[in-house]
Amino acid sequence: MELKDLRKTSIWKMEKLELNFSVDCVLFTILEKKLKVLLNRPFPEMGHFLPGGFIMADEDSDAAAIRILYQRTGVNHIFLKQFRTFTDPDRFSYAELFQRLGMEQQIMDELPLLPERVISIGYFALVNAELIHPTGGEYQENTSWGDAEQLPQLSLDHASIIKQALDALRRELYFKPVLYNLLPEKFTMPELQTLYEIILGKSLDRGSFQRKMLRWDIYERLEERKTGVAHKRPFLYRFNREKYDRAQQQGIHFAM
């Protein structure tokens, strides 16, 4: 094969995959009162990975994130939000990966040209674990929820990607009402506060929290109170769907 023929095929791609553009998906949930993140373990000889993969030639990264999350974990219909792109020249090396996986030098020499740098575009979402069902996807990978505060051994720079996704999620929390899917239809302020505390990783002052929440004007206080609790029965609230949707669109603080 001569150089000029090669120029006509595209060696910037292999099997329609763009070998230097990947996406990584950070899917958070709350389980057993802890913040968890969905992990894959495609290679037993290496640590966990975020569900990730290469962008295809005809798709943008938003479409790639949805497809890859589904292929890797079986989880579908999730709105994933782009939060940051990871570009460190040393973050990923095909040669190093293949060596870690025990590939023989002779096979590596036969491989097509591979890029020296792979950048990864990070996406995150916060989901209700009861509504999604990770199956390991079509690759039948070992898929599990890891504890975001005490992560297991992770491959590549994926621990750092999770940390930055968590920063993005925490920031989103102050800006948009992202907890809708994690709450029952009717809920109490202490229940809402618990979710915030789990995600923020710290205790919040009860009075100050409630004042802030009510100032957002997206919750409706019902005439009912929670039953079956020992002491003072707290009021029940629900989202005002119209105001919630507007806040989702515009951000809470845009109502300046």
Residues 6+ apart with CB under 8 A from 221: 235, 236, 237
Q: CB 112 → a second copy: shortest distance, Å?
A: 8
Smallest separation, CB 183 to a second copy (Å): 18
Cα distance between residue 181 and residue 201, in whole Å: 20
- Do residues 62 and 80 lie in contact, with contact meaning Cβ atoms separated by under 8 Å? yes
* Amino acid at position 46, single letter: M
| List of residues contacting a second copy (CB under 8 A) | 1, 3, 6-7, 10-13, 18, 20-21, 55, 57-62, 82, 84-85, 87-89, 113, 115-117, 119, 121, 170-171, 174-175, 196, 200, 204, 208-209, 212, 251, 253-254, 256
Rounded Cα distance, 43 and 152, in Å? 14
Nearer to a second copy, 207 or 228 (CB): 207
> Closer to a second copy at the Cβ: 6 or 101?
6
How big is the chain, counted in residues? 256
Min dist. Cβ of residue 134 to a second copy (A) = 26
- Whole-number minimum distance, CB 156 to a second copy, in Å? 15
Work out the end-to-end distance of the chain between its first and last CA atoms, rounded to an integer number of angstroms. Answer: 64
Contact between residue 33 and residue 194 where contact means Cβ atoms under 8 Å apart: yes
- Choose between 197 and 245: whose C-beta lies nearer to a second copy: 197
